[in-house]
Amino acid sequence: MKLNLKIVAAVGAVTMMSSSVAFAAASITVPPPGLFTYSKEGLSLTTAAGVTLPVITVTFGNNLTYQDDILITLPGTVSVAPTVSPTLVVCAPASSAVGYVTTVAGGWNFRVTSVTGVNLGDSCAFQGLQVTPASLATATGEIDYKALRFQTGQLVDAANTKNAVQVKSQFAITTQQKLNGIIDVNNDREQFAVLESVAPGNAAAPAGYLNDTLNFTTTVDGGGLVFTAPTVAPTATKVEIVGDWAWVDGSDTGSTCDVAEFGAVLNGYAGWTVSSTSTCAMLVLNETYPLAANTSVNQGWIDVPGTKALNPTDFVGNAEWSYILTGGSATGKTGYAWDPGAWTINGAQVYIQYMPYGENISRIIYAANSGVQAGVVDATIYYNGNTYNCALGSAPAKTVTELSGPINTCVANSGITSGKVAILLTFTAPDKDIEVYSAYNVGGDDRGTVVNTSNGRTFFYGTGFPFVPPGP
348-449: CATH number: 2.60.290.11
- Cα angle value 112/115/117 (rounded, 5°): 55
Candidates 417, 213, 223, 386; CA nearest to 301 is 213
The answer to whether the 5-168 and 172-345 domains have the same CATH topology is yes
Q: How far apart are CA 17 and CA 20, in angstroms?
A: 8
pLDDT tens string, the chain, 472 residues long: the values are: 333 434 333 333 333 333 334 456 899 999 876 677 999 999 999 999 999 999 999 999 999 999 999 999 999 999 999 999 999 999 999 999 999 999 999 999 999 999 999 999 999 999 999 999 999 999 999 999 999 999 899 999 999 998 889 999 999 999 999 999 999 999 989 999 999 999 999 987 667 799 999 999 999 999 888 899 999 999 999 999 999 999 999 866 666 899 999 999 999 999 999 999 999 999 999 999 999 889 999 999 999 999 999 999 999 999 999 999 999 999 999 999 999 999 999 999 999 999 999 999 999 999 999 999 999 999 999 999 888 999 999 999 999 999 999 999 999 999 999 999 999 999 999 999 999 999 999 987 767 889 999 876 544 444 444 444 444 4
Give residue 40's pLDDT. 96
Q: How far apart are CA 230 and CA 221, in angstroms?
A: 13
Amino acid in position 407: I
Element (H, E) at 426: strand 419-427
Q: What topology does CATH give the domain 5-168?
A: Immunoglobulin-like (2.60.40)
Give residue 445's pLDDT. 74
172-345: CATH number: 2.60.40
Domain boundaries, the chain: 5-168, 172-345, 348-449
Q: Other C-beta atoms within 10 Å of 462: how many?
A: 17
